[in-house]
């Protein structure tokens, strides 16, 4: 699928001659945290595509913590003067590394291939530092999804996917009465924060979400709306099973697959798990946005670190070109559960959940209801995000009141800024 047409212009750009083919295709060491079924399959597509150009791919997967473990490893590598060629990185994290002078740009590739014309402006801005592309996005993930097992819902007498939190609570009560776990959940801080931000969107709407979780407005953080969001989160704590603590997200997805649980609230990487297990959307599992009429954006991207040597520099350019190629964007996102970052990739082969995601994305851009995910590092610096995660997890695992939660959260965010 990927041939020399991608490599030849890049070889020329890198200033190499075609007389040195062993070095021409480049080498990349790629640091990422895609280790579960759907994710591993997706990153395997990128590896396969890169190797098809004759390049050498060194895989450095680091599991755990929604990327937290990978970031710890990355910091150690950069301090030691041995950064990987490309790193799965996103949001403000890209800007933070760029400000430290740790990144190479791939602007020459972006200009030659017209990236500006095919990326949503909000996403393109995140990929750039001082006007130059330093990262390439592989996808657009939607965070605000509810996944469900139709058989479990039918068994409990739940006739439709919920569109409000009241409807969700009513459905969860029915599932509980039928002896089915209402909400499959993994008790890890980033998963708690995922549910929390989706609740904030549903309770307060996109404008409130932006004020509280992006602009960090103190009035919004201490408002009655935020108290109501914590009240709903407290309700949801009663819908998870006793063994949720420390469970990985994909194991929670498996509970829904097996019909042990009715719902999971998780980004559309969960769909990658269903698809990897051969499940059919609309038949074996259902998808619906969480309440709120918005779109919580998460996007995976690869950021290019400051490496030296022709082979490594060529590898970066080839990888950047491959990531943004329409063929790869289609293949990768079909495996990952997300939708292409490029807006010009036809979605004919994508499932109904992906088509819904794309339609809602377009609608959210038009109505200004597209918001960046706080939980998934698209909205605020890691230090501030850390305060959110700590407080939300503490609340979820204690009997803290909603009023205390908003006061503690506002104070913690102020400290971290």
- Which segments of 238-366 does DSSP mark as H helices, in order? 249-257, 269-276, 310-324, 326-336, 352-366
- Whether the CB-CB separation of 181 and 351 falls below 8 Å is answered with no
Q: How many CB atoms lie within 10 A of CB 252?
A: 29
Q: What is the pLDDT of residue 4?
A: 35
Same fold, 4-140+299-351 and 142-297+353-416: yes
**Under DSSP, is residue 304 helix (H, G, I), strand (E, B) or coil?**
strand
Specify the pTM.
Answer: 0.83
Alpha carbon of residue 308 to chain centroid: 30
One of 3.40.190.10, 3.40.50.9100, 1.10.3720.10, 2.70.170.10 is the CATH number of 4-140+299-351, namely: 3.40.190.10
d(CA 54, CA 406): 54
Element (H, E) at 286: strand 286-289
Q: What is the pLDDT of residue 11?
A: 37
- Calculated CA dihedral for residues 53, 57, 63, 68, nearest 10 degrees: -90
- How big, in percent rounded to 5, are the helix, strand and coil portions of the chain? 55, 15, 30
Q: What is the pLDDT of residue 17?
A: 32
What DSSP assignment string belongs to 98-141?
A: HHTT-B---HHHHHHHTHHHHS-HHHHHHHEETTEE-EEE--BE
Residue in 316, 118, 292 with CA at minimum distance from that of residue 202? 292
b/e code 324-362 from CB counts within 10 Å (16+ = b): bbeebbbbbbbbbbbbbbbbebebeebbebbebbbebbe
Consecutive sets of 10 residues in the chain, 417 residues long: mean pLDDT of each? Answer: 37 35 71 86 89 94 82 94 94 93 97 94 90 96 97 98 98 98 97 98 97 98 98 98 96 98 96 92 97 93 95 96 94 88 93 94 89 92 94 98 98 95
Domain-wise residue ranges, the chain = 4-140+299-351, 142-297+353-416
Q: What is the pLDDT of residue 34?
A: 87
Strand partners, 133: 128
Q: What is the pLDDT of residue 65?
A: 59
Q: What is the pLDDT of residue 36?
A: 82
Q: Is 56 exposed, middle or buried (CB count within 10 Å of its CB: 0-12, 13-18, 19+)? A: middle
What is the DSSP code (8-state) at residue 7? H
Q: How many CB atoms lie within 10 A of CB 248?
A: 15
**Protein fold of 142-297+353-416:** D-Maltodextrin-Binding Protein; domain 2 (3.40.190)
d(CA 53, CA 178): 54
Express each pLDDT in 310-319 by its tens digit: 999 999 999 9
């Amino acid at each position: 699928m990927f041939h020399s047409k991608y490599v030849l212009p890049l070889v020329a750009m890198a200033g190499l001659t075609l007389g040195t083919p062993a070095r021409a295709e480049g080498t990349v060491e790629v640091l990422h945290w895609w280790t579960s079924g759907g994710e591993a399959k997706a990153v395997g597509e990128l590896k396969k595509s890169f190797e098809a150009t004759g390049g050498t791919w060194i895989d450095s997967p680091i599991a755990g913590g929604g990327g937290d473990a990978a970031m710890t490893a990355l910091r150690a590598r950069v301090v030691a003067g041995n950064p990987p060629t490309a790193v799965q990185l996103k949001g403000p994290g890209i800007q933070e590394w760029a400000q430290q002078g740790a990144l190479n740009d791939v602007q020459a590739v972006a200009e030659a291939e017209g990236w500006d014309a095919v990326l949503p402006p909000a996403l393109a801005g995140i990929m750039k530092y001082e006007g130059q592309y330093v990262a390439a996005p592989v996808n657009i993930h939607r965070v605000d999804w509810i996944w469900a097992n139709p058989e479990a819902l039918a068994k409990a007498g739940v006739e439709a996917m919920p569109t409000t939190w009241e409807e969700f609570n009513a459905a969860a009560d029915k599932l509980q009465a039928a002896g089915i776990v209402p909400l499959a959940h993994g008790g890890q801080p980033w998963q708690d924060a995922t549910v929390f931000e989706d609740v904030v969107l549903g309770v307060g709407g996109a404008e409130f979400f932006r004020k509280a979780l992006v602009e960090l407005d103190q009035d919004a953080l201490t408002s009655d709306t935020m108290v109501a969001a914590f009240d709903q989160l407290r309700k949801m704590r009663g819908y998870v099973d006793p063994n949720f603590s420390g469970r990985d997200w994909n194991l929670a997805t498996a509970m829904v697959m097996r019909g042990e649980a009715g719902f999971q609230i998780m980004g559309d990487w969960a769909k990658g798990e269903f698809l990897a297990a051969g499940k059919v959307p609309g038949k074996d599992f259902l998808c619906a946005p969480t309440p709120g009429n918005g779109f919580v954006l998460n996007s995976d991207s690869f950021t290019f670190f400051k490496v030296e040597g022709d082979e490594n520099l060529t590898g970066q350019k080839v990888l950047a070109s491959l990531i943004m190629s329409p063929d790869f964007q289609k293949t990768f996102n079909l495996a990952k559960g997300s939708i292409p970052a490029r807006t010009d990739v036809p979605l004919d082969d994508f499932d109904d959940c992906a088509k819904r995601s794309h339609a809602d994305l377009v609608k959210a851009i038009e109505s200004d209801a597209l918001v960046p995910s706080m939980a998934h590092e698209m909205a605020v610096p890691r230090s501030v995000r850390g305060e959110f995660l700590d407080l939300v997890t503490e609340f979820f695992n204690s009997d803290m009141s909603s009023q205390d939660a908003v006061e503690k959260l506002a104070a913690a965010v102020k400290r971290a800024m």
